[in-house]
Each structure stands twice: as C-alpha cells, then as structure tokens.
Amino acid sequence: MGRVGSWRFCVRRRGRGCLSPLSTVTVRFTRRALANLVAIAAYIRAANPSAAEAVRNRIEGVISGLAQFPLQGTPTDDPDIRRLVASPFPYLIYYRVKGDTVIILHIRHGRRRTLGRPGRRSIAR
C-alpha cells in the first residue's frame, strides 16, 4: 500500500509541478469575497433553493481544499493571484497566498467580463 502521509501527486501540465500536501494554512475572506458568496447564493435561491445550497456547498468545499493545497489554482496575469474553478459550476475563485494564509479575494461567475480590463479596478483592490 505504501507509506501513509508521505505522498506526492504530480501534474505536469502547463508548467505546473508536483502538488504536495503542505502544512495546513489559514483561509481568510475579504469582505468583497464574502459579499460575492452571499450574492451568488441569494441569486440562485430565488429560482431554486436546493441548487443554491449545492452551489454554495461546492464553492465552500473548493475553498476548504485550499487549506491543504494552496497552490492548486492556476496563476493569473498577476503572478500573486491564482484562480480556481468550482467545477462543475462555472464559478471562479480568485485568491492570493501570503505566507501561511490563503486570502480569498473574489468569487465570480465565469461568463462575466474578465477583470483587469482598461477602466476597471484590479481584483487585488
């Protein structure tokens, strides 16, 4: 079976290296990210309460996984910000890793206009 607690999961695509379990980090939300999560759930709940619960649970589950694997997301144009998809739902979670803390910056639907275009505020603000 192998040794428990000493394993690595390697993904060799697009310049990613091996994912190794790190010591657990703290996950924190910005006010904006919390407001995004509440707004997403409220919007979906208006049409389908059970779907809203499923989407929220999935987003929260993906975020809780960041505590074990904080570098699992894809780097964005800003090297300090990473993006993770809450599959199978089309929600993108933008976050930053600072030391032993993951900071959730923003949660948005994948079909919305991308951030960082001229005239728009940066995601990090």
Q: What is the DSSP letter of 81?
A: E
DSSP 8-state class, residue 107? E
Strands (E), 20-90: 26-29, 74-75, 81-85
Domain count, the chain: 1
Does residue 8 lie within any of the structural domains?
A: no
Assess if residue 70 is contained within a domain: yes
In a domain, 102, yes or no: yes
What's the CATH code of the domain at 88?
3.30.2310.20
Report pTM: 0.73
Q: CA 98, CA 82: separation in Å to the nearest integer?
A: 12
Domain range for 89 is 22-109
The average confidence (pLDDT) of the chain is 80
| 5-47 pLDDT, tens digit each | 334 444 445 555 555 555 678 999 999 999 999 999 999 999 9
Q: For residue 121, how many C-alpha atoms fall within 13 Å in the half-sphere facing its CB?
A: 6
Please report whether residue 114 resides in a domain.
no
4 in any annotated domain: no
According to the model, what pLDDT value does residue 119 have? 41
Write out pLDDT tens, residues 94-115. Answer: 999 999 999 999 999 988 766 5
